[in-house]
Structure 1
Amino acid sequence: MADSETHYVTSKQITTRLKRSAGQLDGVLRMMDEDRSCDEVLVQLSAVKSSIDKAMKLVIARNINDCVDNMTDVDVENLAHSLDLLLKTK
């Protein structure tokens, strides 16, 4: 992890999450075209919101990780643990 070439969160992970979110949003638009119930649409919009929130956490985690160049190995390990906790939260 101390190697500056190693990223805790990769661009591919972020891109994959955003593509998944875009697919979910496209599904919501189809639901609207199909006049699906408000309840169904809101459930799917909630899923999109959750997916976007996770993407935001990944972006934040990546940014924090990029700042660890001058940290000790113990600091990096502590940060990695904190990032694990952050990514597990809703």
Structure 2
Amino acid sequence: MAQNLGPESLHEESYCDSTVNRKSHHSEEVKKNLVTRLNRVEGQIRGIKGLIEKDTYCDDVITQISATQAALNSVAKILLEGHMKNCVVERIQEGDIDVLDEFLITIQKLMKK
């Protein structure tokens, strides 16, 4: 019953509304996948907190932090891919090239980390 819910299988499932009150619209499958991933990240954060409270060796805590950052990055990649392939393309097709500046700022924010 395991499904491949990685970024490559989800990019066609979401799109963004380019109206003034922009919202992203994801299929139920995509939302479920993202929420599942975020629930895992939330659990990892609680685990890291517990490690610190138990005075766990620093290197082990740092390893867990790295794994949590990677998990959060995977959520960002799914959202970024869907945004690029759907929202950005749609807005460019509508003649809104300002979306490119918005997208570049988003990439810069992600790369700061």
Q: Which secondary structure does the structure 1 equivalent of 2:13 belong to?
A: coil
Unaligned ranges ≥5, structure 1? 1-5, 71-90
In the alignment, the residues of structure 1 paired with residue 41 and residue 75 of structure 2 have an alpha-carbon distance, to the nearest angstrom, of 9
> What corresponds to 1:16 in structure 2?
36
Q: TM-score, normalised by structure 1?
A: 0.62
Of the three residues 10, 13, 23, the one matched with 1:7 is 13
Identity between Structure 1 and Structure 2 (%): 28
- Runs of 4+ in structure 1 deviating by more than 2 angstroms, as ranges, are 64-70
Report the structure, 1 or 2, having the larger strand content: 2
Output the TM-score relative to the length of structure 2: 0.50
Relative contact order, higher structure (CA 8 A, sep 6+): 1
Q: CA deviation at 1:65?
A: 3.8
- Structure 2 stretches lacking a partner, 5+ long: 1-11, 15-25, 94-113
Match of 2:60 in 1: 40
